[in-house]
C-alpha cells in the first residue's frame, strides 16, 4: 500500500502525465485520465476497453418488457403502446441530459458529467435482488454535475437532500410521462 508521500509524488498535472505517456515504449497504448483534483494518471487502453460494457451490465436501463409488464399488471389500457412511448421519452430525456452536459462543458470550460444519483453501492450486499429495486440507468436517476464533484462522490448516494428512487418508481414515472403526453395530444385534437 502506498503512503501519502508516494501518492503525492505520483500526483501530476495533465501536461506532466502526457510527457510520461510519450516516454513509454508504446505511447499509443496508454491514455491520460483525470483522477480528480488536478491529479492525472496513465491507464492502458486495453484495460479500459470493457469498462463501458461492464458498467452497462450493472446499471441497466429501463426495458420495454419491464414497462409493458407494469402496465399489464396494473390493468392500463393500451399498455404496449404506452410502454413504447415511455421508452421513446426515456431515450429522449437521456439524450437531452448528455447534450446538457456537453453544452455546460463547452460554455464553462470545466468538464461536466451525467451522474447516477443512486450509484452501484448496494450490488454486493443484495446480489440476488439488486436489479429489482435499484433504479439503474433511468433518466430519473441521472443528473448533470461537474466532473470534479462526480469524482469526489464515487458510488455514494448524495448527502444534499436528493431522494433516491426505486426501480418500480422509475418505471411508474416513465409510464406517467407517456400517459400525460398522450392526454396532451388528445386535448389538442
Look at residue 80 and tell me whether its pLDDT is greater than 90: yes
- The whole-number average pLDDT for the span 44-62 is 74
Predicted confidence at residue 71, as pLDDT, reads 93
**Range picked from 45-49, 156-160, 165-169 for highest mean pLDDT:** 165-169
Phi-psi region of 136 (alpha: psi -120 to 50; beta: other; left: phi over 0): left
54 assigned to some structural domain = no
The number of folded domains in the chain is 2
| 38 and 79 together in one domain | no
Alpha-carbon distance of 34 to 13, in angstroms, equals 9
DSSP SS3 for 38: coil
Q: Angle 53-37-116 (CA atoms, 0-180°, nearest 5)? A: 35
The reply to whether 81 and 41 lie within a common domain is no
Domain span at residue 34 reads 4-48
Domain-located, residue 12: yes
Verify that 132 and 71 share a domain, yes or no. yes
Q: Is the pLDDT of residue 172 over 80?
A: yes
Kindly state whether residues 95 and 158 are assigned to the same domain. yes
Q: Do residue 67 and residue 43 come from a single domain?
A: no
CA distance 148 to 110: 9
Average pLDDT on 156-170 reads: 75
pTM: 0.69
The pLDDT, as a whole number, for residue 135 is 83
What are the phi and psi torsion angles at 72 (to 5°)? -65, -45
CB of 17 closer than 8 Å to CB of 41: yes
Instruction: Give me the half-sphere count of Cα atoms (radius 13 Å) on the Cβ side of residue 57.
Output: 4
Do 20 and 83 fall within a single domain? Answer: no
Amino acid at each position: 500500500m502506498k503512503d501519502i508521500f508516494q501518492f503525492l509524488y505520483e500526483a501530476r498535472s495533465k501536461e506532466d502525465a502526457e510527457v510520461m505517456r510519450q516516454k513509454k515504449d508504446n505511447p499509443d497504448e496508454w491514455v491520460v485520465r483525470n483522477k480528480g483534483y488536478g491529479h492525472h494518471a496513465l491507464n492502458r487502453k486495453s484495460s479500459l476497453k470493457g469498462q463501458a460494457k461492464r458498467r452497462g451490465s450493472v446499471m441497466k436501463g429501463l426495458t420495454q418488457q419491464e414497462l409493458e409488464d407494469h402496465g399489464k399488471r396494473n390493468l392500463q389500457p393500451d399498455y404496449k403502446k404506452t410502454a413504447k412511448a415511455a421508452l421513446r421519452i426515456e431515450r429522449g430525456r437521456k439524450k437531452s441530459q448528455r447534450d446538457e452536459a456537453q453544452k455546460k462543458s463547452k460554455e464553462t470550460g470545466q468538464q461536466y458529467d451525467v451522474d447516477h444519483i443512486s450509484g452501484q453501492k448496494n450490488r454486493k450486499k443484495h446480489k440476488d435482488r439488486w436489479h429489482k429495486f435499484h433504479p439503474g440507468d433511468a433518466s430519473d436517476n441521472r443528473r448533470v454535475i461537474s466532473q470534479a464533484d462526480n469524482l469526489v462522490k464515487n458510488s455514494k448516494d448524495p448527502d444534499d437532500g436528493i431522494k433516491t428512487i426505486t426501480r418500480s418508481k422509475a418505471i411508474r414515472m416513465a409510464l406517467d410521462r407517456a400517459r400525460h403526453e398522450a392526454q396532451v395530444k388528445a386535448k389538442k385534437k
